[in-house]
Amino acid sequence: MAMVKANAYGHGLLPVATFLQDVVRADWFGVATTEEGVALRRAGITRPILVLGGFWFGQEAAIVHYDLATTLPDPDYLPVLEQAASQAGRTVAVHLEIDTGIGRLGLSPDQFTTVLERLKACPHLRLDGLMTHFASADLPEHADFTRDQIRRHALAVQQARAAGWTPRYIHLANSAGLHAFLPEAAGNLVRLGGLLYGIAGDALSPAFPPPPTQPVLSLHARILGLKTVPPGTPLGYGCTFVTRRPTRVATVPLGYGDGLHRIQSNRGQVIVRGRKVPIIGRVSMDVTMLDVTDVPDVALGNVATFIGSQGETTITAEEYAAVMGSIALEATTALTARVPRCYRAAAMSSAPGGREDTPASACK
State the minimum distance, in angstroms, from the CB of residue 191 to ligand PLP. Answer: 4
Residue closer to ligand PLP (CB basis): 134 or 256: 134
State the minimum distance, in angstroms, from the CB of residue 100 to ligand PLP. Answer: 12
Nearest residue to the partner ligand PLP, using Cβ: 193
State the minimum distance, in angstroms, from the CB of residue 328 to ligand PLP. Answer: 10
Binding site for ligand PLP (CB under 6 A): 3, 5, 52, 133, 174-176, 191-195, 203
State the minimum distance, in angstroms, from the CB of residue 111 to ligand PLP. Answer: 17
- State the catalytic residues: 5, 237
Residue closer to ligand PLP (CB basis): 5 or 248: 5
Residue closer to ligand PLP (CB basis): 195 or 223: 195
Residue closer to ligand PLP (CB basis): 172 or 260: 172
State the minimum distance, in angstroms, from the CB of residue 9 to ligand PLP. Answer: 7
Residue closer to ligand PLP (CB basis): 194 or 215: 194
Rounded-to-integer distance, Cα 267 and Cα 106, Å: 39
